[in-house]
């Protein structure tokens, strides 16, 4: 039993399932070459810019993709055409799917996972925690006290990092879900609220709101979505499910008259709502998810029944804010960082928008580790309507990514000279120059001088102590040729902590030397963070929002960068790449 929706199965879902096969095979101690074949296929799929479902529908030969052989091609076709994957189903009869979750714990490989499951019946991370509490794990051969302690830490890390989804990952599931929910009977309004709407870098769960008259069929439609793994709750107007990758979705169904109030309430943040409610009480008003109500004389607002008191707003979100004497605020601002006060005085920032962006100043090509040629990247940028772009391949020292030396850089310029005239976009000669351990740069001064834009960043010695790391980066920023410090803290969300770094000192140095800081828009980085760009703005340090694209597809990351910039209160003037080409050139030439 499956729906037509499966026909458009997402690449991520296919990759996810193949990756699960690899995990389960590994736990079964299958032939390592077989395991690797699945992993290679997953890597290929993750880098694909086209939809596999489309390719299957158009009868294309999937085995022409690298890493995809006859078997896997057959499985992909099976998934696209039937929504089923018999091999995975068979594997699930042998190994419970949750056992593979144990592999996400630091220090647990397939052998250990197998042992925990076979000998202690541990199938989930929660089971493992119970077994640790009960002292059963230490008794297992090859585990011992030290391992047990490490596992506790691993569980803690797992919970802290893995339970929240990166916004970019959540989007891959939310977008198809919204499309599906839009097809539910009688839907009048449909929105995602919560941290997702505020575009927070990670989301704990997805809060879906629907306005309609008849809730039953909408709830039914929701819980029968194909990617639902588990239904937690399916009440009349309130439901909760967990999607296959472990992402929880809460649904609220409401009548149209209170939709605006619910949207406001469930968008949060909690802190924003708390402050709003306090403010309302001073005006004799009570705000709830049902609307804004006048508090009747002598009534304790905490004891008001839903719907009690005269209702002054609720149908629209604007109306809710207006009833409280405030103008509507973009969701990205609703973190109680001063936005309510600013709205009260009509001093909200005029936030930067995607359409303000005139160019992308960090991207890679086949000259280093990018997937597309410079010309292809340039045409894609032109299609996005940009006036300018910078090609910033890696420098020599980043050899794993095919970094360029001085001679190769000159070769690259010649290539650009060759086709530039055919295009309607300015290609800035640039390079992502590696910052060496002592803060010096991985390119000679002569060539640094010749570049239109000098971008510098760290790719090695990420674990220096704070003082040394800060000094290193400050040294780099102080070099007179440098224009932009890229991905300044080096964090990878849910994967790698930022360097031990005094960001304030780096921002001060950037200001002193007229260097801009990057907001790297890759949803796995978002570096600098929203809080840090807020601080950059306060200090008057210009911010560049760049995608660091390694393929034409990645150019769409700009949207994530702009969202974080908005969360950091940036206006167009705070963002360097909203400037016209001539203004940008003036800034680059330090005129």
Closer residue to Zn ion (CB): 191 or 518: 518
- What is the sign of the dihedral through the CA atoms of 443, 446, 450 and 456? positive
Length of the chain: 591
Number of residues that bind Zn ion (CB under 5 A): 1
Which residues from 8-37 bind ligand DGT, rule CB under 6 A?
none
Is-contact 350 571, C-beta < 8 A?
Answer: yes
Does 335 sit near Ca ion (CB under 5 A)? Answer: no
Q: Retrieve residue 242's tokens.
A: 């967990």
Q: Which does 270 bind (CB under 5 to 8 A by kind): Zn ion, ligand DGT, Ca ion, none?
A: ligand DGT
Tell the burial category of 394 from Cβ atoms under 10 Å away from its Cβ (0-12, 13-18, 19+).
buried
Residue number, 268 or 403, with CB nearest to Zn ion = 403
Compute the distance between CA of residue 199 and CA of residue 161 in angstroms, rounded to an integer: 18
Interface stretch with Zn ion, choices 98-106, 244-252, 456-464, 565-573 (CB under 5 A): 456-464
Comparing CB distances to Zn ion, the nearer of 457 and 469 is 457
Residue among 195, 368, 489, 578 that touches ligand DGT (CB under 6 A)? 195
Q: What residues form DSSP beta bridges with 360?
A: 389
Task: Please identify, using beta-carbon distances, which residue of 269 and 478 lies nearer to ligand DGT.
Answer: 269
Of 208 and 519, nearer to Ca ion (C-beta) is: 208
* Contacted entry of Zn ion, ligand DGT, Ca ion, none for residue 268, CB cut-off 5 to 8 Å set by kind: ligand DGT
Output 197 or 459, the one with its CB closest to Zn ion.
459
516: which residues sit within 8 A by CB, 6+ positions away? Answer: 483, 484, 485, 510, 541, 542, 543, 544, 576
Crossing angle between the packed helical segments 167-181 and 558-567, to the nearest 10 degrees? 100
| Token pair for 34 | 């077989």
Closest to Ca ion by CB, 269 vs 366, is 269
Contact with ligand DGT (CB under 6 A): which of 47, 204, 255, 349?
A: 204
3-state helix, strand, coil in the chain (%, to 5): 50, 15, 35
Q: Closer to Zn ion at the Cβ: 457 or 554?
A: 457
Q: Which of 205, 356, 360, 530 binds ligand DGT (CB under 6 A)?
A: 205
Complete DSSP assignment for 211-254:
E-S-HHHHHHHHHT-TTEEEEEEE-SSEEEEEETTS-EEEEEEE
Least distance to ligand DGT, CB of residue 513, Å = 37
Q: Which of 268, 291, 523, 542 binds ligand DGT (CB under 6 A)?
A: 268
Nearer to Ca ion, 194 or 403 (CB): 194
- Choose, by CB under 5 A, the member of 13, 191, 205, 530 that binds Ca ion: 205
CA 172 to chain centre: 10
Residue from the set 42, 99, 170, 203 that interacts with ligand DGT by CB under 6 A: 203
Residue 317 binds ligand DGT (CB under 6 A) = no
Which positions ≥6 away from 178 have C-beta within 8 Å? Answer: 190, 192
**Alpha helix ranges (H) inside 83-186:** 86-94, 110-120, 125-133, 144-162, 167-181
Q: How far is the CB of 379 from Zn ion (least distance, A)?
A: 23
Q: Which segment (330-338, 455-463, 465-473, 563-571) binds Zn ion by CB under 5 A?
A: 455-463
Q: Which stretch binds ligand DGT (CB under 6 A): 29-37, 110-118, 200-208, 306-314?
A: 200-208
According to the binding rule CB under 5 A, does residue 194 interact with Ca ion? yes
**Other C-beta atoms lying within 10 Å of the C-beta of residue 34:** 13
Query: What is the C-alpha to C-alpha distance for residues 127 and 98, in angstroms, rounded to an integer?
Result: 10
For residue 90, the minimal CB distance to Zn ion (Å) is 42
CB of 457 to Zn ion, least distance (A): 5
Stretch that binds ligand DGT, among 269-277, 352-360, 422-430, 462-470 (CB under 6 A): 269-277
Q: Identify which range of 50-58, 196-204, 239-247, 342-350 contacts ligand DGT by CB under 6 A.
A: 196-204
Separation between Cα atoms, residue 254 and residue 233, nearest integer Å: 17
Interface characters, 206-245, with Ca ion (x: CB under 5 A): -x--------------------------------------
Q: Contact at 8 Å (CB) between 441 and 459?
A: no
Nearer to ligand DGT, 124 or 269 (CB): 269
Report how far apart, in Å, the C-alpha atoms of 534 and of each of 211, 398, 525, 543, 575 are: 35, 31, 17, 10, 12
Q: How far is the CB of 453 from Zn ion (least distance, A)?
A: 14
Question: Could you give the 3-state DSSP secondary structure of residue 148?
Answer: helix
273 near ligand DGT, rule: CB under 6 A = yes
Residue ranges in contact with ligand DGT by CB under 6 A? 194-195, 200, 203-205, 207, 265-266, 268-270, 273
Residue ranges in contact with Ca ion by CB under 5 A? 194-195, 205, 207, 250
């Amino acid at each position: 039993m499956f729906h037509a929706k499966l026909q458009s199965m997402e690449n991520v879902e296919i990759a996810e399932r193949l990756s699960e096969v690899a995990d389960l095979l590994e736990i079964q101690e299958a032939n390592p070459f077989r395991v690797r074949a699945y992993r290679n296929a997953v890597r290929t799929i993750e880098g694909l810019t086209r939809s596999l479902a489309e390719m299957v529908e158009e009868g294309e030969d999937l085995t022409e993709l690298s890493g995809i052989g006859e078997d896997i091609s057959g499985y992909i076709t099976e998934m696209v055409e039937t929504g089923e994957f018999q091999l995975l189903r068979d594997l699930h009869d042998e190994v419970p799917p949750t056992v593979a979750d144990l592999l996400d714990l630091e220090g647990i490989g397939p052998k250990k996972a197998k042992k925990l499951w076979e000998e202690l019946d541990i199938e989930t991370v929660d089971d493992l925690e119970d077994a640790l509490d009960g002292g059963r794990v230490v008794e297992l051969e090859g585990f011992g006290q030290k391992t047990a302690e490490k596992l506790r830490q691993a569980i803690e890390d797992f919970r802290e990092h893995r339970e929240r989804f990166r916004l970019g990952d959540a989007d891959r599931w939310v977008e198809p879900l919204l499309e599906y929910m839009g097809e539910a009977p009688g839907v009048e309004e449909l929105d995602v609220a919560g941290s997702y709407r505020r575009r927070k870098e990670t989301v704990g769960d997805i809060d879906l709101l629907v306005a309609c008259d008849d809730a039953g069929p909408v709830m039914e439609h929701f819980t029968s979505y194909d990617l639902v793994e588990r239904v937690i709750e399916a009440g009349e107007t309130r439901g909760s499910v967990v999607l296959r990758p472990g992402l929880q979705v809460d649904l609220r169904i409401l009548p149209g008259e209170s939709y605006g109030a619910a949207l406001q309430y469930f968008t949060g943040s909690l802190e924003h709502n708390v402050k709003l409610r306090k403010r309302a009480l001073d005006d004799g008003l009570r705000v709830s998810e049902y609307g804004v109500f006048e508090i009747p004389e002598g009534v304790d607002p905490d004891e008001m029944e839903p719907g009690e008191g005269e209702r002054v707003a609720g149908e629209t979100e604007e109306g809710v804010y207006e009833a409280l004497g405030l103008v509507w605020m973009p969701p990205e601002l609703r973190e109680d960082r001063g936005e309510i006060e600013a709205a009260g005085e009509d001093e909200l920032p005029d936030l930067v928008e995607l359409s303000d962006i005139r160019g992308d100043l960090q991207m890679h090509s086949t000259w280093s580790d990018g997937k597309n040629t410079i010309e292809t990247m340039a045409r894609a940028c032109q299609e996005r309507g940009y006036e300018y772009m910078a090609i910033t391949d890696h420098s020599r020292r980043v050899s794993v990514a095919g970094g360029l030396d001085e001679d190769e850089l000159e070769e690259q310029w010649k290539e650009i000279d060759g086709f530039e005239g055919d295009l309607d976009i300015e290609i800035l000669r640039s390079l992502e120059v590696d910052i060496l351990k002592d803060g010096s740069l991985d390119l000679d001064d002569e060539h640094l001088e010749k570049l239109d834009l000098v971008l510098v960043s760290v790719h090695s010695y990420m674990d220096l102590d704070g003082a040394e790391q800060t000094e290193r980066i400050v040294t780099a920023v102080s070099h007179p040729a440098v224009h932009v410090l890229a991905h300044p803290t080096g964090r990878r969300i849910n994967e790698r902590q930022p360097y031990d770094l005094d960001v304030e000192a780096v921002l001060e140095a950037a200001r002193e030397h007229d260097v801009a800081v990057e907001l790297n828009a890759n949803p796995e980085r978002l570096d600098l963070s929203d809080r840090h760009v807020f601080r950059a703005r306060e200090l008057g340090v210009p911010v560049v929002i760049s995608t660091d694209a390694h393929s034409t597809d990645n150019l769409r990351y700009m949207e994530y960068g702009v969202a974080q910039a908005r969360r950091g209160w940036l206006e167009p003037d705070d963002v360097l790449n909203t400037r016209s080409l001539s203004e940008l050139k003036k800034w680059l030439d330090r005129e």
